């Protein structure tokens, strides 16, 4: 199947394509607006489902819709002085996205390391975990979208998510991953949109099953879906 090369931008409740033309909700492969503005996001969140006594690394999977507070929560979950590597999967496809990437980079603590990796996420994570106390991936939504637009087959993308889940099980560092919950919105009107929704839903399930904790963000509030056993 050939993938359309006009990815759709999802910003709040509105959707537009890269040329600025209105597209309606969930028309096709999405470009996530998951890196929300994060004022005061660097204070430490200690949640009731966390296990502060775990000597190994732990994994946190943060899900939610656009502008639900996913990225703010992911950033705020890190200790202020920790050596954090931030893995960004976004690509600056136009001026608007480039400005957003620059703004979000400026919002992160200056001692954090940023790696931009739109495709080869698992190898980058393996290397990043060896060099940092904590790693944030924002976000799996764009990672899946990037792989689809590159022409990767669904089976291959799911296999990559299985490798990601296997890495989480090893607990090489504190890992926080962010993704969009796209299965509760308007039914996509295009075949590509339905494929993206179904594929991201499968990836999210594989990662959630492997993660120690899963949080669903609703209107800026974290709901504990899964906690440590």
**Tens-place pLDDT, residues 51-96:** 444 457 899 999 999 989 999 999 999 988 899 999 999 988 888 8
Mean of pLDDT over the chain = 81
Q: Residue 4 above 80 pLDDT?
A: no
CATH of the domain at 202: 3.40.50.300
Active site residues: 104
- In a domain? residue 1: no
Question: Domain of 112?
Answer: 34-226
- Alpha-carbon distance of 187 to 209, in angstroms, equals 25
- In a domain? residue 8: no
Nearest of 51, 40, 50, 106 to residue 73 by alpha carbon: 40
Q: Which band of pLDDT confidence, cut at 50, 70 and 90, is reported for residue 107?
A: confident
- In a domain? residue 55: yes
pTM: 0.77
Q: Residue 24 above 60 pLDDT?
A: no
Count of structural domains within the chain: 1
- In a domain? residue 48: yes
What confidence score (pLDDT) does residue 119 get? 97
- In a domain? residue 126: yes
- In a domain? residue 213: yes
- In a domain? residue 27: no
118 DSSP 8-state letter: S
- In a domain? residue 86: yes
């Amino acid at each position: 199947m050939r993938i359309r090369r006009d990815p759709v931008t999802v910003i709040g409740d509105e959707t537009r394509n890269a040329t600025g033309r209105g597209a309606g909700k969930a028309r096709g492969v999405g470009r996530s607006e998951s890196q929300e503005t994060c004022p005061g996001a660097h204070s430490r969140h200690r949640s009731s489902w966390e296990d502060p006594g775990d000597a190994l690394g732990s994994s946190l999977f943060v899900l939610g819709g656009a502008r639900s507070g996913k990225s703010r929560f992911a950033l705020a979950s890190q200790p202020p002085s920790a050596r954090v590597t931030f893995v960004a999967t976004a690509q600056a496809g136009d001026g608007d996205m480039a400005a957003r990437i620059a703004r979000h980079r400026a919002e992160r603590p200056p001692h954090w390391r940023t790696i931009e990796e739109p495709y080869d996420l698992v190898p980058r994570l393996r290397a990043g975990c060896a060099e940092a106390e904590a790693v944030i991936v924002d976000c799996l939504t764009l990672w899946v979208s990037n792989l689809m637009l590159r022409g990767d087959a669904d089976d291959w993308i799911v296999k990559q998510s299985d490798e990601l889940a296997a890495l989480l099980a090893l607990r090489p560092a504190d890992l926080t991953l962010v993704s969009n919950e796209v299965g509760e919105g308007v039914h996509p009107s295009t075949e590509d949109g339905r494929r993206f929704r179904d594929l991201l839903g499968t990836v999210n399930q594989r990662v959630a099953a492997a993660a120690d904790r899963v949080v669903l963000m609703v209107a800026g509030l974290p709901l504990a879906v899964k906690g440590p056993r």
